[in-house]
Structure 1
Amino acid sequence: MGFASTMSLHPRNVFYGWWIVSVGVVLAIINGSFYVYGFGVFYIPLLNELGTTRAALGGVIGLARLEGGLIAPIAGWLIDKYGPRKLLYIGLSTVGICFLLLSIITKLWMLYVVFMLIATGSSFGGGRPISVAVANWFLRKRARALGILLAGIGLGGSGVFFVAWITENFGWRTSAIVAALCYFFVAIPLVSLVYHKPEDLSLHPDGIPVEESLSTNSADEPLELELTPKQALQSMSFWLLAIAFAAWSVTVTVVAVYHIPFLIEDLGTNPVQAASIASLTLLLSVPGRIIFGWIGDILNIRILLSATLLVQAISILIMSLVTSLSWVPLYMALLGPSYGGSASLRQAIVAHFYGRKNFGTISGLLQFVDLPGAVLGPILVGWLVDSFDGYSVGFQAAAGFLFIGAIAVFVAKRPNPNKINQ
């Protein structure tokens, strides 16, 4: 009897879904440290070494997100059909190899190729496969489980300080090699512990019998819906969520790509100090991911997500007005928790609106249709920085998008399958 069977069948042991969450946290820390937020550390060294513009360098992330977004629906369908484990092996191996290639690039076009390949690998080996597994393993505690899972991304963001230290002392190429080693010798071996659904181990979501799990919260609203991708696309809520998610992706641009350069170029900090501030901001997102995930299982998840987007908009607007380090703690205290909370809730609301059976496919479709924000965000902010010789206008544009996203989520309603064509 293997590890999974032993842990899941012994009555005194923790529900196996939490072991999958734990594996996901470790994978998220690695992805967060080196890929999701690590590019901010590489940004200035690459800008100097490759002799390019900020808009061109922002285009690397933009096209990588385009690649990831185009693949997302296919990746989601494959995960739903074949399970996350096989896709994780393929994706994590691809990302590891690409970080090795990153360590030897010498031209801008090479950087574009490598990051597009990393985006492809990340679509299969990033957060989506584990999120699909967690969404299937939990029902009543889904939002808090996803919150804990995504806390790993926040912890990975705080690990940017470690990446910055390696880069400062040994160079960005060494950092890329260290990233590859983490993928090969830590991430990939853990994949064997991941199972797609609790039914694979003769269990039920949350460890609760099916008949009890599928009971209702109220007389009018079932605890679980199951919509097909076609039904999701036919619902107004899908397109409102797409607008909100596109707006949120611009925040990721600010936090992951431009936060460290902003601190260095506009506020005059050194690279390690800038990485420390960025890391602390992301560390503050960890309690936000967990707490808002927990509350999301109790209160209206739609209103909570709208509120977190609104607070992010305010925090980035404040960020655009900061002229000295003394004001930095103010936007950090607002941005960190709200950014983390929205990261958890945006995953949970998809499962809440559309169910777990097609979660991977529908979340992939959402990523596909929010491509304008994901792709144009880094390029637009980079262009505004180049044009206005500072980050203020770019950050104000990002805040405006977030205000629109907060409104979109607020007016979105959970679909009624009976009113949608089959």
Structure 2
Amino acid sequence: MPRIRIFYGWWIVAAGFGLEALIGALLFHAYGAYVVLLREEFGWSKTMLSAAFSMARAESGILGPVQGWLTDRFGPRALMRVGVVLFGVGFLLLSQVGSPVTFFLTFFVVAMGSGLAGYLPIGVAIVAWFRRRRALALSISSTGMAVGGLLVQLVALALTHWGWRWTAFASGVVILLVGLPLAQLVRHRPEPWGLRPDGDPPAADTAAPGRAPAAVVERSFTAKQAMRTAAFWHIAIGHGAALLVVSAVMVHLISHVTERLGLSLQQGAAVVTLMTVMQIAGQLSGGWAGDRFSKRAICVGCMVAHALALVVLARASAFWMVAAFAVMHGFAWGVRGPLMSAIRADYFGSASFGTITGMSSMIVMLGMMAGPLVAGALADSTGSYRAGFDTLAALAAAGSISFFLARRPPAP
């Protein structure tokens, strides 16, 4: 039988999936559980623990343009290897902290590592390797973050039985042993390897009977040209509004359900698991839909769903209401997430995608920073998350308007 060759772009998608799973399981989805235990041991406020998360996101926003330029200039693999080392070493150091200062410093290292190893460089590589199936490839890769949410039950179990210090140390070891080989698989562009995006044959062969359809002709903006368009700013503002909700939920969901409904830490992790199952369903269906229908219209609908879900969570008095939130928010997050990269690549091309995404991050990360701070500060001052969640829901609803206005710009 003839040997079936898998297009190498799919190996890059698999590597991205694995790295996103590590980041999701050990950091983003698990941070809320760490918050509960750190508050118990040190008595630190929700505002302070929210500030650590927000500070780390500020790093991504500030360094995003530089990281984007470096990724376009030197390729994603070099940055990802550095990121994996920082990510792993940061967790090893986190296991030894004993004061707010050391916690902030070590968490900064963890966050910087996860940023260098994760979303932006993975997206740069996938955008360069795919055009027709770009949304699907991005959605499969980003599903790793959601699968990490499923694995958070294991992290919660480790936190319960081993404590947060040993769990953090073990996380660092796993990151170094698994993350470095995955980063090594990533390549920047297919052309130096004699390949074309989507695995298409050479241009001269595409007209032959039975061949794959002709490659999509791509238009590319420079970063300066993209920033002169209204679409660049509307997408960035809408994306930032979405992350207001996502980041607040990451940090405060488990605290909210354990304090308001009296759930255990592992029951709180089960809510995250349900949300993550819906996120996976949303990512896979959203990737398929994004290659066929208007990405902009899909994003508008997802923002409305984010807002409604947070309103339900703010008023949750029974487990079914928390479950309803998890279903709505998880599905909307899953559908919308991969389309953030896909719509930018469709509008602005892949040539300067890293720099364009990095410039966007200065605005996007304002949402990632503000979400936990708003929810945490209002919870500390009012004794409830309701006011904070309602405020963020209103801002998320307003974000749907930004996506509605984000029309494709004319070619430069």
Mark yes or no: TM-score above 0.5: yes
When normalised by structure 1's length, the TM-score is: 0.92
Residue 284 of structure 1: aligned partner? 278
Spell out, residue by residue over 1:178-212, the C-alpha distance to the aligned partner (whole angstroms, 9 max, x if none): 21111111111222211111113110000114656
Q: Are 1:134 and 2:133 an aligned pair?
A: no
Q: Pick from 93, 108, 111: which aligns with 1:116?
A: 108
| Distance (whole Å) between structure 1 residues aligned to residue 200 and residue 248 of structure 2 | 41
- Output the amino acid matched with 2:371: G
Residue 294 of structure 2: aligned partner? 300
Q: Pick from 8, 11, 25: which aligns with 1:16?
A: 8
Contact 1:286 1:337 in 2 (8 A): yes
Contact 1:266 1:391 in 2 (8 A): no
Residue 272 of structure 1: aligned partner? 266
Structure 1 segment 218-297 matched on structure 2, within 5 A:
224-297=218-291
Per mean C-alpha deviation after superposition, the further-off stretch among 11-20 and 316-325 is 11-20
- Output the amino acid matched with 1:84: P
1:253 deviates by 1.6
Residue 161 of structure 1: aligned partner? 153
| Distance (whole Å) between structure 2 residues aligned to residue 289 and residue 223 of structure 1 | 26
Contact 2:256 2:385 in 1 (8 A): yes
| Distance (whole Å) between structure 1 residues aligned to residue 398 and residue 232 of structure 2 | 15
| Distance (whole Å) between structure 1 residues aligned to residue 314 and residue 75 of structure 2 | 43
Classify the secondary structure of the residue corresponding to 1:414. Answer: coil
Classify the secondary structure of the residue corresponding to 1:227. Answer: coil
Q: Are 1:89 and 2:100 an aligned pair?
A: no
Q: Pick from 405, 409, 412: which aligns with 2:406?
A: 412
Count of matched residue positions in the alignment of Structure 1 and Structure 2: 404
Per mean C-alpha deviation after superposition, the further-off stretch among 122-131 and 104-113 is 122-131
Cα 1:359–1:31 shift into 2, 3 Å = same
Q: Are 1:400 and 2:394 an aligned pair?
A: yes
Spell out, residue by residue over 1:237-257, the C-alpha distance to the aligned partner (whole angstroms, 9 max, x if none): 111112111111112223311
Q: Are 1:143 and 2:112 an aligned pair?
A: no
Classify the secondary structure of the residue corresponding to 2:302. Answer: helix
Q: Pick from 339, 349, 354: which aligns with 1:360?
A: 354
Contact 1:50 1:108 in 2 (8 A): no
Per mean C-alpha deviation after superposition, the further-off stretch among 164-173 and 390-399 is 390-399
Contact 2:247 2:369 in 1 (8 A): no
Contact 1:62 1:374 in 2 (8 A): yes
Cα 1:215–1:409 shift into 2, 3 Å = farther
Q: Are 1:317 and 2:311 an aligned pair?
A: yes
Unaligned runs of 5+ in 2: 207-211
Once superposed, what is the RMSD of the aligned Cα atoms? 1.7
Residue 52 of structure 1: aligned partner? 44
- Output the amino acid matched with 1:264: T
Per mean C-alpha deviation after superposition, the further-off stretch among 370-379 and 155-164 is 370-379
Residue 6 of structure 1: aligned partner? none
Contact 1:85 1:191 in 2 (8 A): yes
| % identical equivalent positions | 33
Spell out, residue by residue over 1:36-89, the C-alpha distance to the aligned partner (whole angstroms, 9 max, x if none): 221111001111222221111100011110011111111111111111111111
1:267 deviates by 1.1
Contact 1:281 1:335 in 2 (8 A): yes
Contact 1:99 1:176 in 2 (8 A): yes
Q: Are 1:100 and 2:100 an aligned pair?
A: no
Cα 1:385–1:292 shift into 2, 3 Å = same
Spell out, residue by residue over 1:71-123, the C-alpha distance to the aligned partner (whole angstroms, 9 max, x if none): 11111111111111111110100110000000000001111111112222222
Q: Pick from 378, 381, 402: which aligns with 2:375?
A: 381
Cα 1:209–1:239 shift into 2, 3 Å = same
- Output the amino acid matched with 2:401: I
1:297 deviates by 0.3
Spell out, residue by residue over 1:140-160, the C-alpha distance to the aligned partner (whole angstroms, 9 max, x if none): 000010000110000001211
| Distance (whole Å) between structure 2 residues aligned to residue 307 and residue 25 of structure 1 | 26
Contact 1:99 1:179 in 2 (8 A): yes
- Output the amino acid matched with 1:272: Q
When normalised by structure 2's length, the TM-score is: 0.95
